[in-house]
């Protein structure tokens, strides 16, 4: 299986996902600025992977701090976390991981700063290891919505490349494959940055999963033909009422699934559930550069002065969601009550 992110000898190694699928290049990240840049430019992307990268970014950002008393060290640490938190606004895992790092530092404030740095390095490693275990459980739980012979439609990339291993939406597919089930996948290409075409098609191909790539505007036809048994997608933030922000286009896929009576599932770790965000309306949606739409991957496809709207995510209302597959089980409506129970 691919290794999306690896920490070794004080450096973070990631697959540069902007170059996939033609070039599979691993790059070393050595500074917090490089980490910020990798997250912002989607060299590392997908909610859980962003959280893991940010945790390592903290480790890089504090490594050379000279402060020896806790208060001045913590002030500098906060500058690092604030900087990293400004890289992308929507995926809550980023903020979750940075908060966890800050909290760990505070819990150990009586210890010497050099020891706290080591503790934080171990905390980042734990965040990554836990994510692997969580994704494995999502796979196990999500396999209950599949059976041998099922065909799944997915949008964007919520696979190995978006996490430390297995993925979220793709984890049930890998799990089912391990059981010897024959599962087919239709992958939406996912305009404008083609995470479905460049990443999902790539990683499923690498894993010898039967995957068919379609453009986003083909999903309705494929559903109408009766070829899709279930839709599973990932998530960037789940609000307390069950509304879900995920890659732009997800809402449309959910509406299509509803129209064709196909169950529409979200898969994600509990670290993507944000009970402090009441509804989807409160989720900040990232807007990205106009160039991604008029000049994707260097080829101009629209007049350079045309008006452009480029939101990276949309919100799917909870009414359209059959269930949210987490490491703790599948949560179903009423989401406002049942999501809360996960944290009791
Ligand atoms: O802009 P991206 O590529 O980071 O968007 C990724 C998604 O929308 C994924 O579906 C989501 O983060 C879940 S990843 C397990």
Comparing CA positions, the residue from 116, 183, 114, 119 lying closest to residue 148 is 183
Q: Are 53 and 39 in contact (CB under 8 A)?
A: yes
- 195, 232, 326: which to mutate for ligand 1, most atoms within 8 A of CB? 195
Q: Are 130 and 269 in contact (CB under 8 A)?
A: no
CATH H superfamily, domain 143-342 = Translation initiation factor eif-2b; domain 2 (3.40.50.10470)
- Contact 48 CB / ligand 1 (< 6 Å): yes
Q: Write down the pLDDT at residue 260.
A: 98
Q: Are 195 and 247 in contact (CB under 8 A)?
A: yes
Distance 112 CA to ligand 1 centre (A): 38
Q: Are 179 and 139 in contact (CB under 8 A)?
A: no
ipTM: 0.99
Burial 140-172 (b: 16+ CB within 10 A, else e): bbbbebbeeebbbbbbbbbbbbbbbbbbbbbbb
Closest residue CA from atom 8 of ligand 1: 247
Distance 118 CA to ligand 1 centre (A): 30
Q: What is the pLDDT along the chain (344 residues), one digit of tens a residue?
A: 789 999 999 999 999 999 999 999 999 999 999 999 999 999 999 999 999 999 999 999 999 999 999 999 999 999 999 999 999 999 999 999 999 999 999 999 999 999 999 999 999 999 999 999 999 999 999 999 999 999 999 999 999 999 999 999 999 999 999 999 999 999 999 999 999 999 999 999 999 999 999 999 999 999 999 999 999 999 999 999 999 999 999 999 999 999 999 999 999 999 999 999 999 999 999 999 999 999 998 899 999 999 999 999 999 999 999 999 999 999 999 999 999 999 99
DSSP β-ladder status, 313-316 and 244-247:
antiparallel
- 92, 235, 292: which to mutate for ligand 1, most atoms within 8 A of CB? 235
- Contact 168 CB / ligand 1 (< 6 Å): yes
- Contact 234 CB / ligand 1 (< 6 Å): yes
- Contact 246 CB / ligand 1 (< 6 Å): yes
Q: Are 308 and 239 in contact (CB under 8 A)?
A: no
List the chain domain ranges. 5-135, 143-342
Dihedral (CA of 194, 209, 260, 139) sign: negative
Q: Write down the pLDDT at residue 2.
A: 85
- Contact 235 CB / ligand 1 (< 6 Å): yes
Closest residue CA from atom 15 of ligand 1: 158
Dihedral (CA of 87, 293, 4, 168) sign: positive
Judge: domain 5-135, CATH 3.30.70.20.
Answer: no
> What's the per-residue H, E or C state across 51-100?
HHHHHHHHHHHHCCCCCCCHHHHHHHHHHHHHHHHCCCCCCHHHHHHHHH
- 246, 249, 271, 292: which to mutate for ligand 1, most atoms within 8 A of CB? 246
Cβ neighbours of 80 (radius 10 Å): 23
């Amino acid at each position: 299986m691919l290794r999306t992110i690896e920490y070794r000898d004080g450096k973070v190694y990631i697959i540069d996902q902007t170059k996939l699928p033609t070039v599979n290049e691993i790059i070393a990240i050595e500074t917090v600025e490089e980490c910020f840049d990798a997250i912002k430019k989607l060299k590392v992307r997908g909610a859980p992977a962003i959280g893991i990268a940010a945790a390592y970014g903290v480790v890089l950002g504090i490594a050379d701090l000279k402060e020896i008393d806790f208060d001045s060290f913590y002030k500098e640490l906060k500058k690092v976390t604030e900087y990293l938190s400004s890289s992308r606004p929507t995926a809550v895992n980023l903020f979750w991981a940075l908060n966890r790092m800050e909290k760990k530092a505070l819990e150990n404030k009586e210890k010497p700063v050099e020891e706290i740095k080591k503790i934080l390095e171990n905390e980042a490693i734990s965040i990554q290891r836990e994510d692997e275990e969580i994704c494995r459980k999502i796979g196990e739980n999500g396999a209950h919505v599949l059976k041998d012979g099922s065909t799944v439609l997915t949008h964007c990339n919520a696979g190995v490349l978006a996490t430390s291993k297995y993925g979220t939406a793709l984890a049930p597919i890998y799990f089912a494959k391990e059981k010897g089930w024959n599962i087919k996948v239709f992958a939406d290409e996912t305009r404008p940055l083609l995470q479905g075409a460049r990443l999902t098609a790539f990683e499923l191909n690498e894993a010898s999963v039967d995957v068919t790539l379609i453009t986003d505007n083909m999903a309705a036809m494929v559903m109408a033909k009766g070829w899709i048994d279930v839709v599973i997608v990932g998530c960037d933030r789940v609000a307390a009422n069950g509304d879900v922000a995920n890659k732009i286009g997800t809402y449309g896929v959910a509406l299509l699934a509803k129209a064709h009576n196909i169950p529409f599932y979200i898969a994600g770790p509990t670290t993507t559930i944000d009970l402090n965000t009441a509804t989807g309306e409160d989720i900040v949606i990232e807007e990205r550069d106009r160039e991604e739409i008029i000049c994707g991957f260097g080829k101009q496809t629209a007049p350079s002065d045309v008006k452009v709207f480029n939101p990276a995510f949309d919100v799917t209302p909870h009414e359209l969601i059959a269930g949210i597959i987490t490491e703790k089980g599948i949560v179903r409506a009423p989401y406002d009550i049942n999501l809360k129970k996960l944290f009791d």
